[in-house]
Chains A and B, each alone.
Chain A
């Protein structure tokens, strides 16, 4: 897929964000089956997968420039959306290195990284053409960048990022850049351990999901990142659905009708990956958010039908936890006419290569 950015689209105010046909077809649809329940759905993050969203360690798409701008707007209003506890500096450099190396390798027309050495103290030069940035700095010396290294690089990346320090057989959420989250507060959660920050998630604790996931992640290996998909829904293509700004976007949930649900209700999918960081031994947790309106999604017939089935059979605790209560009935009513009840193939791929014209 060639990269043509849509720098003018917005994720607030007039909400002009839209997906191109190509972006719809590569969407990481999260439901392989007609029912959804929590599981430790973790798999190796290899360079392959059902759509090409999975093919690169850090995917960049047509929304890159607009998402970076939206992040800058959110940070301007609330600088606390990016935090790193003092012991995380080595992990900050790890993150910068990982992102710069992968972006430069996978998108050489957009990014380049030149190094005079690999160890701390070496001079590096980074060029980000889409954002018009050229920066020369000393790897390992935060004073040679305009801000701390984690903030610097994640301002130039899509998706949220958390870094977990590993100690006492647990993972601690000790750094984060969080401006496109599904309603959780970094300022509240920073410093929490794995069980604490997952505390509010219903049903999964009882199923032992987090114990198993934690044990697995503590053994995560350098060079063998893993991934999983998570999902929720949002009204309007809004990246910043934080608890901080809930008073702004909360009322939108009451604005959904059967008529407007297709355009207003968005499926929000997080492609979460987990990386052992090399120098700090911390774990990087990128949470890449993909938004698609129900209307756009339903242009893939399999996905429209399956979404209807998943949402109709969702346990009430999850409906409540994911905040769907007010607008789920209207959304189901919008989707119902599209679902003929035909059997659908297992798996998340679109099973078509072209969309029918609008």
Chain B
């Protein structure tokens, strides 16, 4: 992963069940599931399996998971479901997320709207390093960026993808790369595979 000295980047940790918590909800991005990862999650959550639900998003039909399992088609569907749960969340509940950064931060934003505090949410990165990029000039976001320079989906400018990250937007900052010398666009490199 590209490392800079910029300190606004989130750091992710291996998921650990917090056994004093109330209800536990684990949401996993399906394409990041490997049998080894699933086994690790099952072991991590074994102590709280009775108070636990797992949502698998865009997972193969045969996928297994700890706790009561629910399958959802897309991250958008998962976010909407999370935001509008009838029973709501309790102050002791925990949300655990595993997947790519755009996946996790989209769900974290939905959970925040549902009243969950950032201190109730745990994240573990898995899968691609692809980024959501927010254009500082037109304020549109560009999804699935894997290169250091990306074309903005909103204004078409060539953006340098910086390491500065906004949790609220779930996105990295993109800044026009050739503003000072129009046309001087450096070589694009795949840095977030």
Contacts of B8 in A (CB 8 A): 192, 195-197, 199-200
Interface range, B side:
20 to 34
In Å, the complex CA distance between A188 and B157 comes to: 18
In Å, the complex CA distance between A140 and B176 comes to: 42
Instruction: Please tell me which one of the listed residues A202, A246, A253 contacts residue B136 in the complex, with CB atoms under 8 A apart.
Output: A246
Write the chain B residue with the least CB distance to A85: B168
* Residues 156-191 of B contacting A (Cβ, < 8 Å): 157, 162-169, 173, 175-176, 179-182
Instruction: Please tell me which one of the listed residues B163, B164, B176, B182 contacts residue A188 in the complex, with CB atoms under 8 A apart.
Output: B164
In the complex, whether B9 has a CB less than 8 A from a CB of chain A is yes
Instruction: Please tell me which one of the listed residues B162, B166, B180 contacts residue A189 in the complex, with CB atoms under 8 A apart.
Output: B166
* Residues 188-217 of A contacting B (Cβ, < 8 Å): 188-192, 195-200, 202, 205-206
In Å, the complex CA distance between A250 and B163 comes to: 20
In Å, the complex CA distance between A187 and B140 comes to: 12
In Å, the complex CA distance between A251 and B176 comes to: 11
In the complex, whether B68 has a CB less than 8 A from a CB of chain A is no
Known A250-B176, A254-B181: A187·B7 in contact at CB below 8 Å: no
In the complex, whether A33 has a CB less than 8 A from a CB of chain B is no
In the complex, whether A326 has a CB less than 8 A from a CB of chain B is yes
CB <8 Å contact, A246 and B176: yes
CB <8 Å contact, A188 and B137: no
Contacts of B176 in A (CB 8 A): 246-247, 250
Minimum CB–CB distance for A249 against chain B, Å = 8
In the complex, whether A142 has a CB less than 8 A from a CB of chain B is no
CB <8 Å contact, B180 and A199: no
In Å, the complex CA distance between A337 and B164 comes to: 40
Interface bits B127-145 vs A (CB < 8 Å: 1, else 0): 0000000101101000000
* Residues 32-72 of B contacting A (Cβ, < 8 Å): none
CB <8 Å contact, A202 and B166: no
CB <8 Å contact, B173 and A188: yes
In the complex, whether B20 has a CB less than 8 A from a CB of chain A is no
Counting chain B CB atoms within 10 Å of each CB, the highest count among A190, A200, A253 belongs to A200
CB <8 Å contact, B7 and A185: no
CB <8 Å contact, A196 and B167: yes
In Å, the complex CA distance between A121 and B167 comes to: 37
In the complex, whether A244 has a CB less than 8 A from a CB of chain B is yes
Contacts of B168 in A (CB 8 A): 190-192
Write the chain B residue with the least CB distance to A250: B179
CB <8 Å contact, A199 and B136: no
Write the chain B residue with the least CB distance to A195: B7
CB <8 Å contact, B9 and A243: no
Write the chain A residue with the least CB distance to B7: A199
In the complex, whether B85 has a CB less than 8 A from a CB of chain A is no
Minimum CB–CB distance for B140 against chain A, Å = 12
CB <8 Å contact, A187 and B175: no
Write the chain B residue with the least CB distance to A198: B7
In Å, the complex CA distance between A189 and B134 comes to: 12
The list of the 9 closest CB pairs from A to B, nearest first, reads A199-B8, A250-B179, A243-B136, A196-B8, A191-B168, A199-B7, A250-B180, A199-B6, A253-B180
A-B contact pairs, 6 of them (CB 8 A): A188-B173, A191-B168, A192-B167, A199-B163, A200-B6, A243-B175
Taking beta carbons and an 8 Å cutoff, which residues of B are in contact with A? Answer: 5-9, 119, 134, 136-137, 139, 157, 162-169, 173, 175-176, 179-182
Taking beta carbons and an 8 Å cutoff, which residues of A are in contact with B? Answer: 80, 168, 185, 187-192, 195-200, 202, 205-206, 243-247, 250-251, 253-254, 326
7 extra interface residue pairs, beta carbon distance < 8 Å, beyond A188-B134, A195-B7, A251-B180: A168-B119, A185-B173, A188-B166, A198-B7, A205-B7, A206-B5, A251-B181
